[in-house]
Structure 1
Protein backbone atom coordinates (compact mmCIF):
# COMPACT_ATOMS: atom_id res chain seq x y z
CA UNK A 1 0.00 0.00 0.00
CA UNK A 2 2.89 2.38 0.75
CA UNK A 3 4.12 2.05 -2.84
CA UNK A 4 0.70 2.90 -4.24
CA UNK A 5 0.49 6.00 -2.04
CA UNK A 6 4.03 6.96 -3.03
CA UNK A 7 3.27 6.64 -6.75
CA UNK A 8 0.09 8.71 -6.38
CA UNK A 9 2.06 11.29 -4.39
CA UNK A 10 4.61 11.49 -7.20
CA UNK A 11 1.77 12.14 -9.62
CA UNK A 12 0.46 14.87 -7.33
CA UNK A 13 3.98 16.37 -7.33
CA UNK A 14 3.68 16.78 -11.08
CA UNK A 15 0.27 18.37 -10.53
CA UNK A 16 1.56 20.99 -8.13
CA UNK A 17 4.55 21.79 -10.34
CA UNK A 18 2.29 22.28 -13.34
CA UNK A 19 -0.18 24.31 -11.27
CA UNK A 20 2.68 26.52 -10.15
CA UNK A 21 3.49 27.24 -13.79
CA UNK A 22 -0.18 27.87 -14.58
CA UNK A 23 -0.53 30.21 -11.59
CA UNK A 24 1.73 32.72 -13.36
CA UNK A 25 3.58 33.69 -10.20
CA UNK A 26 0.50 33.22 -8.00
CA UNK A 27 -1.40 35.87 -9.96
CA UNK A 28 -4.15 33.45 -11.06
CA UNK A 29 -6.46 32.26 -8.27
CA UNK A 30 -7.53 28.74 -9.24
CA UNK A 31 -4.14 27.45 -10.37
CA UNK A 32 -2.72 28.89 -7.13
CA UNK A 33 -5.37 27.08 -5.08
CA UNK A 34 -4.69 23.87 -7.02
CA UNK A 35 -0.98 24.29 -6.28
CA UNK A 36 -1.57 24.43 -2.52
CA UNK A 37 -4.02 21.51 -2.48
CA UNK A 38 -1.81 19.29 -4.64
CA UNK A 39 1.32 20.24 -2.68
CA UNK A 40 -0.30 19.29 0.63
CA UNK A 41 -1.58 16.02 -0.84
CA UNK A 42 1.77 15.17 -2.37
CA UNK A 43 3.76 15.89 0.77
CA UNK A 44 1.20 14.16 2.95
CA UNK A 45 1.36 11.02 0.84
CA UNK A 46 5.16 11.07 0.80
CA UNK A 47 5.21 11.50 4.56
CA UNK A 48 2.84 8.57 5.04
CA UNK A 49 4.80 6.33 2.67
CA UNK A 50 8.05 7.13 4.50
CA UNK A 51 6.67 5.44 7.61
CA UNK A 52 7.39 2.08 5.98
CA UNK A 53 9.70 2.74 3.03
CA UNK A 54 13.40 3.65 3.07
CA UNK A 55 13.82 7.39 2.55
CA UNK A 56 16.49 7.21 -0.16
CA UNK A 57 14.48 4.90 -2.36
CA UNK A 58 11.10 6.50 -1.66
CA UNK A 59 12.30 10.04 -2.25
CA UNK A 60 14.06 9.03 -5.46
CA UNK A 61 10.93 7.33 -6.76
CA UNK A 62 8.72 10.28 -5.75
CA UNK A 63 10.98 12.83 -7.44
CA UNK A 64 11.47 10.66 -10.51
CA UNK A 65 7.76 10.16 -11.06
CA UNK A 66 7.09 13.84 -10.51
CA UNK A 67 9.91 14.99 -12.79
CA UNK A 68 9.12 12.60 -15.63
CA UNK A 69 5.38 13.22 -15.54
CA UNK A 70 5.88 16.99 -15.30
CA UNK A 71 8.14 16.96 -18.35
CA UNK A 72 5.73 14.86 -20.41
CA UNK A 73 2.68 16.96 -19.52
CA UNK A 74 4.64 20.19 -20.13
CA UNK A 75 5.47 18.97 -23.61
CA UNK A 76 1.80 18.25 -24.33
CA UNK A 77 0.06 21.09 -22.47
CA UNK A 78 2.60 23.92 -22.50
CA UNK A 79 4.04 23.07 -25.94
CA UNK A 80 7.56 22.75 -24.58
CA UNK A 81 10.02 21.58 -27.22
CA UNK A 82 10.79 17.87 -27.47
CA UNK A 83 14.07 16.39 -28.62
CA UNK A 84 15.68 13.00 -28.82
CA UNK A 85 17.89 13.90 -25.85
CA UNK A 86 14.84 14.89 -23.79
CA UNK A 87 13.04 11.63 -24.60
CA UNK A 88 16.14 9.54 -23.81
CA UNK A 89 16.57 11.43 -20.53
CA UNK A 90 12.94 10.77 -19.57
CA UNK A 91 13.41 7.08 -20.34
CA UNK A 92 16.48 7.08 -18.08
CA UNK A 93 14.47 8.68 -15.26
CA UNK A 94 11.78 6.02 -15.59
CA UNK A 95 14.45 3.30 -15.66
CA UNK A 96 15.94 4.77 -12.49
CA UNK A 97 12.57 4.76 -10.74
CA UNK A 98 12.02 1.12 -11.72
CA UNK A 99 15.53 0.24 -10.60
CA UNK A 100 15.05 1.92 -7.22
CA UNK A 101 11.78 0.08 -6.74
CA UNK A 102 13.35 -3.27 -7.63
CA UNK A 103 16.40 -2.62 -5.43
CA UNK A 104 14.24 -2.37 -2.33
CA UNK A 105 11.88 -5.24 -3.08
CA UNK A 106 9.18 -2.58 -3.53
CA UNK A 107 6.53 -4.91 -4.84
CA UNK A 108 6.36 -6.62 -1.44
CA UNK A 109 5.41 -3.54 0.61
Structure 2
Protein backbone atom coordinates (compact mmCIF):
# COMPACT_ATOMS: atom_id res chain seq x y z
CA UNK A 1 0.00 0.00 0.00
CA UNK A 2 2.91 2.35 0.72
CA UNK A 3 4.08 2.14 -2.88
CA UNK A 4 0.63 3.01 -4.19
CA UNK A 5 0.49 6.03 -1.88
CA UNK A 6 4.00 7.00 -2.99
CA UNK A 7 3.17 6.83 -6.69
CA UNK A 8 -0.11 8.75 -6.32
CA UNK A 9 1.55 11.42 -4.20
CA UNK A 10 4.34 11.67 -6.79
CA UNK A 11 1.70 12.24 -9.44
CA UNK A 12 0.39 15.19 -7.42
CA UNK A 13 3.74 16.87 -8.01
CA UNK A 14 2.34 17.62 -11.46
CA UNK A 15 -0.51 19.58 -9.89
CA UNK A 16 1.68 21.89 -7.87
CA UNK A 17 4.40 22.17 -10.53
CA UNK A 18 1.84 23.14 -13.18
CA UNK A 19 0.22 25.65 -10.84
CA UNK A 20 3.63 27.10 -10.02
CA UNK A 21 4.41 27.45 -13.71
CA UNK A 22 1.11 29.23 -14.34
CA UNK A 23 1.72 31.57 -11.38
CA UNK A 24 5.14 32.44 -12.82
CA UNK A 25 3.35 33.70 -15.93
CA UNK A 26 0.44 35.44 -14.19
CA UNK A 27 -0.67 35.23 -10.56
CA UNK A 28 -4.17 33.90 -9.99
CA UNK A 29 -5.67 32.82 -6.68
CA UNK A 30 -7.00 29.54 -8.10
CA UNK A 31 -3.48 28.56 -9.16
CA UNK A 32 -2.26 29.33 -5.64
CA UNK A 33 -4.95 27.05 -4.21
CA UNK A 34 -3.94 24.25 -6.60
CA UNK A 35 -0.30 24.81 -5.65
CA UNK A 36 -1.04 24.58 -1.92
CA UNK A 37 -3.45 21.64 -2.25
CA UNK A 38 -1.15 19.72 -4.58
CA UNK A 39 1.81 20.33 -2.27
CA UNK A 40 -0.07 19.10 0.79
CA UNK A 41 -1.27 15.91 -0.93
CA UNK A 42 2.10 15.29 -2.57
CA UNK A 43 4.27 15.83 0.48
CA UNK A 44 1.74 14.23 2.83
CA UNK A 45 1.72 11.07 0.74
CA UNK A 46 5.52 11.02 0.68
CA UNK A 47 5.55 11.32 4.47
CA UNK A 48 3.09 8.43 4.87
CA UNK A 49 5.00 6.23 2.41
CA UNK A 50 8.31 6.86 4.22
CA UNK A 51 6.93 5.06 7.26
CA UNK A 52 7.58 1.80 5.37
CA UNK A 53 9.89 2.74 2.49
CA UNK A 54 13.47 3.95 3.16
CA UNK A 55 13.87 7.70 2.65
CA UNK A 56 16.33 7.51 -0.26
CA UNK A 57 14.23 5.00 -2.18
CA UNK A 58 10.98 6.82 -1.42
CA UNK A 59 12.29 10.23 -2.42
CA UNK A 60 13.86 8.98 -5.65
CA UNK A 61 10.70 7.14 -6.70
CA UNK A 62 8.45 10.07 -5.67
CA UNK A 63 10.49 12.65 -7.55
CA UNK A 64 10.85 10.37 -10.56
CA UNK A 65 7.11 9.72 -10.67
CA UNK A 66 6.44 13.44 -10.49
CA UNK A 67 8.92 14.09 -13.28
CA UNK A 68 7.43 11.43 -15.54
CA UNK A 69 3.86 12.65 -15.10
CA UNK A 70 4.86 16.30 -15.42
CA UNK A 71 6.69 15.68 -18.71
CA UNK A 72 3.75 13.62 -20.00
CA UNK A 73 1.27 16.34 -19.01
CA UNK A 74 3.44 19.03 -20.59
CA UNK A 75 3.55 17.11 -23.87
CA UNK A 76 -0.20 16.35 -23.82
CA UNK A 77 -1.10 19.96 -23.01
CA UNK A 78 1.18 21.25 -25.77
CA UNK A 79 3.46 23.32 -23.55
CA UNK A 80 6.40 21.03 -24.35
CA UNK A 81 7.31 19.18 -27.51
CA UNK A 82 7.81 15.44 -27.71
CA UNK A 83 10.91 13.87 -29.16
CA UNK A 84 12.15 10.31 -29.44
CA UNK A 85 15.04 10.91 -27.05
CA UNK A 86 12.73 12.52 -24.47
CA UNK A 87 10.36 9.55 -24.64
CA UNK A 88 13.25 7.09 -24.32
CA UNK A 89 14.68 8.93 -21.33
CA UNK A 90 11.29 9.07 -19.60
CA UNK A 91 10.90 5.33 -20.26
CA UNK A 92 14.30 4.74 -18.64
CA UNK A 93 13.16 6.79 -15.65
CA UNK A 94 10.04 4.63 -15.36
CA UNK A 95 12.28 1.55 -15.48
CA UNK A 96 14.38 2.97 -12.64
CA UNK A 97 11.28 3.57 -10.50
CA UNK A 98 10.08 0.02 -11.14
CA UNK A 99 13.57 -1.24 -10.30
CA UNK A 100 13.54 0.62 -6.99
CA UNK A 101 10.21 -0.96 -6.16
CA UNK A 102 11.46 -4.44 -7.04
CA UNK A 103 14.61 -3.99 -4.96
CA UNK A 104 12.58 -2.65 -2.02
CA UNK A 105 10.12 -5.56 -2.27
CA UNK A 106 12.94 -8.11 -2.16
CA UNK A 107 14.29 -6.82 1.15
Where does structure 1 differ by over 6 angstroms across 4 or more consecutive aligned residues? none
Distance 1:2 1:26 in 2: 36
5+ long unaligned stretches in structure 2 = none
* TM-score, length-scaled by structure 1: 0.90
Output the CA distance in 2 between the equivalents of 1:90 and 1:4: 20
1:23 and 1:30 in contact (8 A); partners too? no
Residue 28 of structure 1 corresponds to 28
CA distance in 2, matches of 1:67, 1:37: 18
RMSD, matched Cα: 1.7
TM-score w.r.t. the length of structure 2 is 0.91
User: 1:6 is matched with which residue?
Assistant: 6
What count of residue pairs does the alignment treat as equivalent? 107
Q: CA deviation at 1:7?
A: 1.0
Does the aligned pair in 2 maintain the 1:2–1:48 contact within 8 Å?
yes
